[in-house]
């Protein structure tokens, strides 16, 4: 797998974003639900929501039966966006709203987040 375009796992089970900024995603306890976007090795986007982002990204990376079937078809992916919501209902609504956006609109959101304007989990 190309290490430049994959999710990195450290020995402390932390996930690093591969957007070049060195952020570390740590397990959040009781902080709500996270809506996230990952970019695949084929430059497609996958949007999901979860209570435990670290666990979910590990499931995707290991291509377990609990991972999204869509992501199993790609060699790798990188985390490019996260947003924390207080409730699952809010997270599901936000996930649905993000999925309805055009690719250009999603790219603008991702670019804003990676430029330090967005909501980052650290």
Identify the CATH number of the domain in which residue 45 sits.
3.40.1440
Tell me what pLDDT residue 121 has. Answer: 37
Q: What is the pLDDT of residue 66?
A: 87
CA distances from 43 to 12, 16, 74, 92, 99 (A): 28, 19, 10, 24, 16
Does 94 fall in a domain? yes
Of 31, 30, 29, 19, nearest to 107 (Cα)?
19
Domain count, the chain: 1
The pLDDT tens digits for 33-59 are: 999 999 999 999 999 999 999 999 999
pLDDT band at 65 (very low <50, low <70, confident <90, very high): confident
- pLDDT at residue 3 in the model: 34
**Is residue 21 a part of any domain in this protein?**
yes
Residue 34 vs residue 11, higher pLDDT: 34
Asked, for residue 121, whether it belongs to a domain, the answer is: no
Mean residue pLDDT across the chain: 78
Whole-number percent of the chain with pLDDT over 90:
60
Q: What is the pLDDT of residue 30?
A: 58
């Amino acid at each position: 797998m190309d290490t430049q375009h994959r999710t990195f796992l450290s020995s402390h089970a932390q996930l690093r974003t591969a957007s070049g900024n060195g952020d570390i995603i740590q397990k959040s306890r009781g902080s709500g639900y996270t809506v996230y976007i990952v970019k695949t090795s084929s430059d497609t986007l996958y949007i999901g929501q979860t209570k435990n982002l670290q666990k979910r990204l590990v499931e995707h990376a290991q291509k377990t039966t609990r991972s999204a079937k869509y992501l199993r078809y790609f060699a790798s992916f990188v985390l490019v966006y996260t947003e924390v919501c207080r409730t699952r209902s809010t997270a599901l609504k936000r996930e649905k709203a993000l999925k309805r956006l055009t690719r250009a609109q999603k790219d603008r959101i991702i670019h804003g987040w990676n430029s330090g304007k967005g909501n980052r989990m650290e």
